[in-house]
């Protein structure tokens, strides 16, 4: 079956924040935007690796055992830069190695082919989605400026859409794959479109303050 064009567009959209940061800010750039580049670069690399492994091996599910925890770690690292005080920044920083260690132990102590999709991956996605929601709500409550002009607002909003899809769609997949395959296929296509929107929002978050200053 041919790969839908929207999936190629979704893959390419992950480069939007990288291009925006490099073109608008150049070097040096603020630390949060460098972290956005690291995250989006990893997402691009992970998707490319998945495609190569799928072609060579026919099954690329095991790559997520490594790439997903690292994606969550980089997302937490990015969110740490948006925390309003040192205590929260330190807390987010401490969560990263704890999460990676717990994931490694869980995978070593169980059968990853079963446990990863069943509960390890959902818990990781819920963890980062909760962290994004906390950052977005907390910063919004503290803000005394227009939210649409804040970089953290757009970046967190994009991350919420991205990680929200990774929570909802796999659960929908497990519930309906045996009875409504076309529903599941449509859900993944919708997720691809929403991901494009998510990375457009992240890209705008990276450049909005420089554009406003100009």
| CATH number of the 5-208 domain | 1.20.1070
Backbone angles phi, psi at 3, to 5 degrees: -75, 125
**Alpha-carbon distance 51 to 48, whole Å?**
5
Q: What is the pLDDT of residue 213?
A: 65
pLDDT bin (cut points 50, 70, 90) of residue 214 is low
In the chain, the percentage of residues whose pLDDT exceeds 70 is 96
- Kindly list the distances between the CA atom of residue 159 and the CA atoms of 38, 196, 197, in Å, as whole numbers in the listed order: 14, 11, 10
| Residues whose CB falls within 8 Å of the CB of residue 158, separated by 6 or more in sequence, listed in order | 197, 198, 199, 200, 201, 202, 205
In this structure, are residues 40 and 213 in contact, taking their beta carbons and an 8 Å threshold?
no
Query: Domain extents for the chain?
Result: 5-208
| Res 136 pLDDT > 60 | yes
Question: pTM of the full predicted structure?
Answer: 0.93
Q: What is the pLDDT of residue 54?
A: 76
pLDDT, tens digit, 9 for 90 and up, residues 142-153? 998 899 999 999
To 5 degrees, how large is the angle CA 61–CA 62–CA 63?
95
**Alpha-carbon distance 176 to 12, whole Å?**
29
pLDDT, tens digit, 9 for 90 and up, residues 110-130? 999 889 999 999 999 999 999
Q: What is the pLDDT of residue 26?
A: 75
pLDDT bin (cut points 50, 70, 90) of residue 207 is very high
Q: What is the pLDDT of residue 51?
A: 84
**In the chain, helix, strand, coil percent, each to 5?**
85, 0, 15
pLDDT, tens digit, 9 for 90 and up, residues 23-57? 988 778 899 999 999 999 999 999 999 888 877 77
Q: What is the pLDDT of residue 52?
A: 85
């Amino acid at each position: 079956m041919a790969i839908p064009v929207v999936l190629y567009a979704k893959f390419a959209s992950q480069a939007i924040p990288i291009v925006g940061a490099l073109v608008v800010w150049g070097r040096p750039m603020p630390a949060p935007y460098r972290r956005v580049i690291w995250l989006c670069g990893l997402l691009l690399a992970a998707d490319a690796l998945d495609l190569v492994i799928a072609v060579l091996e026919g099954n690329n599910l095991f790559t997520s055992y490594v790439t997903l925890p690292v994606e969550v770690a980089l997302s937490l690292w990015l969110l740490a830069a948006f925390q309003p005080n040192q205590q929260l920044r330190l807390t987010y920083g401490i969560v990263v190695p704890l999460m990676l260690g717990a994931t490694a132990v869980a995978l070593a102590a169980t059968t990853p082919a079963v446990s990863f999709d069943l509960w390890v991956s959902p818990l990781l996605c819920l963890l980062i989605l909760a962290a994004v929601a906390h950052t977005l709500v907390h910063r919004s409550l503290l803000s005394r400026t227009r939210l649409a002009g804040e970089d953290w607002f757009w970046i967190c909003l994009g991350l919420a859409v991205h990680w929200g899809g990774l929570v909802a769609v796999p659960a929908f997949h497990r519930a309906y794959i045996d009875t409504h395959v076309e529903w599941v296929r449509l859900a993944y296509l919708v997720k691809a479109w929403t991901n494009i929107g998510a990375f457009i929002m992240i890209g705008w978050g990276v450049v909005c303050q420089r554009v406003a200053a100009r």
